[in-house]
Chain A
Amino acid sequence: MAGLELQHIEKTFGRTRVLHDVSFEVSDGKFFVLLGPSGCGKSTLLRIIAGLEPQTRGSVSFGGQCVDDVPPSDRDIAMVFQHYALYPHLTVKENLAFGLKMRREPKSVIEARIAETAALLEIYDLLDRKPKELSGGQQQRVAMGRAIVRKPKLFLFDEPLSNLDARLRASMRVELKKLHRRLGTTMVYVTHDQSEAMTLGHAVVVMNRGRIQQIGRPEQIYHEPANPFVAGFIGNPPMNLFEGSYRLDQRQLEFLMGDLTFRFPFQAHERIGAGTGTATLGVRPEDVTFEPEGPGHVASTGTIDLVENLGNDSIVHIMVKGQSLMARTSFGFRQHAGESITIYVKNFHLFINDNRIPLPSL
């Protein structure tokens, strides 16, 4: 199979438009993540790819072939659902066999595939059990097995780990990654969990309110967020975002917020001409330090509001000139609430008209 291509997908339910002009391409064998808050349309998009939901406009192609009129059963895909959707009246073995039986595969093939899949996922002991006799993690494995056993061209995952506890989720994430490496099949994975997106995806699509906000590699999305939404959505704790205004002349860009002014050397270009307007300034908590690490780092003083100790690192909430700011320190932070502190900022993100303005590094 070659990749997956979506062209100008639109979807409306009644009068509500849930997807606006969504287009992207997934090349063969890639792990592709659709990331966004709940209600952003990512699951609907996955259902459209599966053929379970017809799109209102636009088209879906697999390997260059338009599949708009192909029913889900003939798309040669497999899907893992959020609530697993195992067949409750069938044993694990029968669950695995279901899809193959429906396709009238010979019995010997079915047996062999089940054996292979059970070995791969280590669910051999569960084969004769009914889904209700399995734990959440085991059901998850079986759901995965039911997808793998068919050897589809494309895997679709709809928040498959969201019903597991944190520890299990972390270990399944690792397994999923290994599984992908082993199978090499294209996977499209829907999640609202940024850590899943960052660790699993070759590419991530960030969606909000039915629109694509950014497509890119995980590190790209993290380091160069395209707009304030992506900036605020990715990263834990989220990026500090400050609303203010900007003033741009030939040589420098100023960001103004209350009494504070930040100046950046900047070349005006065709996208942003000289002038003024509103802007958003972003600072990642990990880009705030308490020691100067470079000559150009911006310094300011503030008061510690609260310290959250997370074990190996701490989140420090600081009030700086009436603005609240979060900083992340990696080790042994010893100061307490109420004390004053000097902070240094290594890196800024600036957004004008909801678009990222690349700033020279400090």
Chain B
Amino acid sequence: MTKSTKEHTTDWLMVFPALTFVAVFSLYPAMDSFVLSLYSDFPGPERSFVGFGHYAELLQDPVAHQAFIVTLGFVLFSTALELLMGTGIALVVHERFRGRGWVRAAVLIPWAIPTVVASQMWRFLLNDQYGAINAILFGDRINAYVPWLADPWTAFGAIVLADVWKTSSFTGLLVLAGLQVIPEETYDAARVDGATAWQRFRHITLPLLKPALLTALLFRTIDAFRVFDLVFVITQGGPGDATQVIQFYGYKTLFTEGRVGYGTTISVTVFVAMAILSLFYVRTVGSKLLQRKPA
């Protein structure tokens, strides 16, 4: 099938606004960031071209390495827990029971709260002197109060916890959508076939939920990699560098230390890493998802 020139012109006219938008607001900033990363740190007429010098520096930077490991840890723990919690939530709200509508709405509340607000809330809850968590755990025994955010491990746990609390309902939503497309008859067939509740979950629900779980995994890993606001509000990367994730390190380098070149280098690296990860997901998981469309 060939298209006339006129049709071609119309096609381009139709996509022109969207293309312009993407070019101005996504493509140009990304390209410009890359250009910035190739120059010395201080912008202005006297800046000099350093090529991939900053990238070489990043490879050698122990703080960056640490930040990368913290980020990976965060991605791993938060994503795993969110998938687990999300599946749990989805299985519960998929069941028919009185007040299910209310439960479904309630489950989504954490997700609806802006991250900065939720983070601030967790910071208060975890406060070492007047935090609700210490009050609940230890009551009047003020001496036993734990400075959660001052210990590297509990501080890391805190940002994971805050993220899991906030985002599990989102994965829950994705998994629920997956559950809802499994026909009820399939379960009836399995019941007649003699499958117990656990066997039905293990042999029917879980395999048929795979596309939904993979989608959730895709969204969550990419999102978790970019974590910034939680850390910014709750721990500021501390104590020490214990919760300093890569995006926060980039932010600090650029805005606190004023190293524009190196800061953008970190951003660009994260961007490229994300692009590769997304591409990988789309190629592997995505193609499987598309194949699953009914004929």
Q: A81-B185, A85-B183, A85-B185 are in contact. Are A102 and B194 (CB under 8 A)?
A: yes
Contact of B191 with A72 in the complex, beta carbons under 8 Å? yes
Does B72 count as interface, using CB distance less than 8 angstroms? no
Chain B minimum-CB-distance residue to A50: B192
Does B61 count as interface, using CB distance less than 8 angstroms? no
How far does the Cβ of B179 sit from chain A's closest Cβ, in whole Å? 14
How far does the Cβ of B75 sit from chain A's closest Cβ, in whole Å? 28
Does B193 count as interface, using CB distance less than 8 angstroms? yes
Contact of B208 with A89 in the complex, beta carbons under 8 Å? yes
How far does the Cβ of A185 sit from chain B's closest Cβ, in whole Å? 15
How far does the Cβ of A303 sit from chain B's closest Cβ, in whole Å? 51
Chain B minimum-CB-distance residue to A97: B193
Q: A87-B204, A89-B208, A132-B294 are in contact. Are A102 and B192 (CB under 8 A)?
A: no
Chain B minimum-CB-distance residue to A143: B189
Contact of B188 with A103 in the complex, beta carbons under 8 Å? no
How far does the Cβ of B192 sit from chain A's closest Cβ, in whole Å? 5
Interface residues of B in 143-192 (CB under 8 A from A): 183, 185-186, 188-192
- Please pick, from B183, B192, B207, B294, the residue contacting A52 in the complex, using a CB distance under 8 A: B192
Interface residues of A in 14-55 (CB under 8 A from B): 47, 50, 52
- The secondary-structure label for the interface of chain B is helix
Contact of B189 with A87 in the complex, beta carbons under 8 Å? yes
Does A222 count as interface, using CB distance less than 8 angstroms? no
How far does the Cβ of A156 sit from chain B's closest Cβ, in whole Å? 8
Interface residues of A in 317-336 (CB under 8 A from B): none
Q: How far, in whole Å, are A102 and B194 apart by their CA atoms in the complex?
A: 6
Of B92-100, B195-203, B220-228, B232-240, which stretch is located at the interface? B195-203
Does A4 count as interface, using CB distance less than 8 angstroms? no
- Please pick, from B190, B203, B295, the residue contacting A132 in the complex, using a CB distance under 8 A: B295
Contact of B188 with A85 in the complex, beta carbons under 8 Å? yes
The residues of A that contact B207 with a CB separation of less than 8 Å are 89
Q: A87-B204, A89-B207 are in contact. Are A73 and B196 (CB under 8 A)?
A: yes
Does A77 count as interface, using CB distance less than 8 angstroms? yes
- Chain B positions near chain A (C-beta within 8 angstroms): 183, 185-186, 188-196, 199, 203-204, 207-208, 210, 294-295
Top 9 closest pairs, chain A to chain B, by CB = A99-B193, A85-B185, A85-B189, A73-B194, A102-B194, A89-B207, A72-B191, A79-B192, A102-B195
Other 18 A-B pairs with CB < 8 A, given A73-B194, A73-B195, A74-B194: A73-B196, A77-B192, A79-B192, A83-B185, A85-B188, A87-B204, A88-B186, A98-B193, A99-B192, A99-B193, A102-B195, A102-B196, A102-B203, A103-B194, A132-B295, A146-B189, A146-B193, A150-B193
